[in-house]
Structure 1
Amino acid sequence: MASPAHDPGPALDQDGVRLTVDDAIATVTLTNPAKRNAQSPALWRALAEAGRLLPGSVRAVVLRAEGKSFSAGLDRQAFTPEGFDGEPSFIDLARGGDAELDATIAEYQEAFTWWRRSDLVSVAAVQGHAIGAGFQLALACDLRVVADDVQFAMRETSLGLVPDLTGTHPLVSLVGYARALEICATGRFVMAEEAVSTGLANLAVPADQLDPAVHDLVSAILAAPRDAVVETKALLQGALTRDYEAQRTAERAAQGRRLRDLAGLGE
């Protein structure tokens, strides 16, 4: 996406993450293409901080990555005895108490949770490899536009682990339990055509058209009134857990709020 002429500079640029804000649109970019945007606890903290730094004017967040790969997943240094500088190794975490281990994983997950806030619509622009933690980061967003060279894979199970960065819920919601299990248990690649046909991706385009396609999608979202989009997103998110009658009730309440607001009677 083109930078604005009055570019104020990044609001955050550290540990492989850059956040820029242009009025209603924030862009979060993974900036370590030399390592295929491999992920680490420091990167996860930077992603969580990006979410905290968003000003109230932001309505849409674009997640993108520099280079040929969106994210090749967890940096393999995590599996060495030394781990990352200044961080407990995964081996050290495993040797600690249950409460400490749970709290650490919960902290890591914070990088993946804010993308589905009801006041935002998040769009991931995904090219090349999106493996493991990279796949889960794309799944953290509301929508996904993929390049025709995309390769999703959930490799945690093949490493003796499970996907624990909030990816299992959206994956099952998008493709169903049986296909989600098969994707995770086999660790196979999911290419662009299958991603679109199963609902994993909203749209696939040639790689050189990825940013323009995301720009067009975000522009279309921003064309609708903000409060209507917020209410609609909340309705659709709630539909996953409400039964039919409860959803009908929620629709009536939301529409009542919208009508009162449009009539100038809102609180």
Structure 2
Amino acid sequence: MPKDNTLLDRDGVRLTVDDTVANVTLTNPAKRNAQSFALWRALAEAGRLLPGQVRVVVLRGEGLSFSAGLDRQAFTPEGFDGEPSFLDLARYPEQELDSVIARYQEAFTWWRRTDVITVAAVQGHAIGAGFQLALACDLRVCADDVQFAMRETSLGLVPDLTGTKSLVDLVGYARALEICVTGRFVRAAEAERIGLATVVVPAAELDATVKDLVAGLLTAPRAAVNETKALLLSARHNTPAEQHAAEREAQGRRLRDLAGLGE
């Protein structure tokens, strides 16, 4: 495959692949990478287009902000051209509305699949949908100018792009509730202290830090990495006995594979 091969470039999303590393970039810096329904469809498509050899996916936003959240045009009566407005969505039958939101969520769910590790490189604003997109990734490398905020509740809505579970898993129920209901900014030092940020670095060092992290993530054998990620994800909901059994089963698969006895 040619180096830096572009597989997708539309609706504010670009997917490029360099061997085992894919880069997903939000490409509308003039609007601080504000999100739209079309962008969500493109993000979901990026997940479907990932070649099988990809092991690490890096998510970035061009410009000064990672993503300032949902484009405010979505809140106007007209909405986006060719798309339902929020007022239109409010009139949908319950089952149809549920289906529409589920399709939007597809842009945020594939980042936790067990065959890849996903890294968000976050600078500047990560607000609302932008915050939830960063939360969708396994790891968050943050510049020291990062500002997270969950503004949906302040707008009379709720965070519905899969961010609530990730936020609670990272910072706990009480802190997640306070962040969501107040809508306040969580800045770099606090983000690192409470577990939102995997690491915080000066903005000028963000790309180099991500590059070093990606190199580290690629050192272990892929099958062991995938099994480990699956175990850690299951640990959040398994009982101790269930998790112990899952560890035994995974190790059995690894031992058989190393001995050349795998299927």
1:125 and 2:151 equivalent? no
**Aligned residue number for residue 58 of structure 1:** 54
**Aligned residue number for residue 202 of structure 2:** 206
1:261 and 2:252 equivalent? no
1:181 and 2:183 equivalent? no
Q: Distance in 2 between matches of 1:249 and 1:108?
A: 35
1:219-260 deviations in whole A, cap 9, x for unaligned? 101000000000000000000111111111111111111011
Q: Distance in 2 between matches of 1:7 and 1:34?
A: 28
1:191 and 2:181 equivalent? no
**Aligned residue number for residue 92 of structure 1:** 88
**Aligned residue number for residue 97 of structure 2:** 101
1:137 and 2:150 equivalent? no
Q: Distance in 2 between matches of 1:64 and 1:243?
A: 35
1:232 and 2:237 equivalent? no
1:150-172 deviations in whole A, cap 9, x for unaligned? 00000000000000000000000
Q: Distance in 2 between matches of 1:103 and 1:252?
A: 38
Q: CA deviation at 1:100?
A: 1.3
What do you get for the CA RMSD once the two structures are aligned? Answer: 1.0
Using structure 1 for the length normalisation, give the TM-score.
0.97
Q: Distance in 2 between matches of 1:96 and 1:251?
A: 45
> Is residue 26–residue 62 contact of structure 2 (8 Å, CA) maintained in 1?
yes
**Aligned residue number for residue 154 of structure 1:** 150
**Aligned residue number for residue 217 of structure 1:** 213
How many residues align? The count is 263
> Is residue 6–residue 17 contact of structure 2 (8 Å, CA) maintained in 1?
yes
2:194 alignment partner AA: T
2:148 alignment partner AA: F
Runs of 5+ unmatched residues, structure 1:
none
1:13 and 2:13 equivalent? no
2:9 alignment partner AA: D
1:241 and 2:224 equivalent? no
Question: SS of 1:228's equivalent?
Answer: helix
Question: SS of 2:42's equivalent?
Answer: helix
1:110 and 2:99 equivalent? no
Question: SS of 1:27's equivalent?
Answer: strand
2:65 alignment partner AA: S
Percent of paired sites with the same residue = 76
Q: Distance in 1 between matches of 2:28 and 2:200?
A: 24
Q: Distance in 2 between matches of 1:246 and 1:191?
A: 37
Q: CA deviation at 1:138?
A: 0.1
Question: SS of 1:10's equivalent?
Answer: strand
Question: SS of 1:227's equivalent?
Answer: helix
Runs of 4+ off more than 4 Å: none
**Aligned residue number for residue 42 of structure 2:** 46
1:146 alignment partner AA: C
Q: 1:125 to 1:8 in 2, by over 3 A?
A: closer
Using structure 2 for the length normalisation, give the TM-score.
0.98
Q: Distance in 2 between matches of 1:226 and 1:116?
A: 16
1:157-208 deviations in whole A, cap 9, x for unaligned? 0000000000000000000000000000000000111111111111000111
Q: Distance in 1 between matches of 2:76 and 2:7?
A: 33
1:77 and 2:73 equivalent? yes
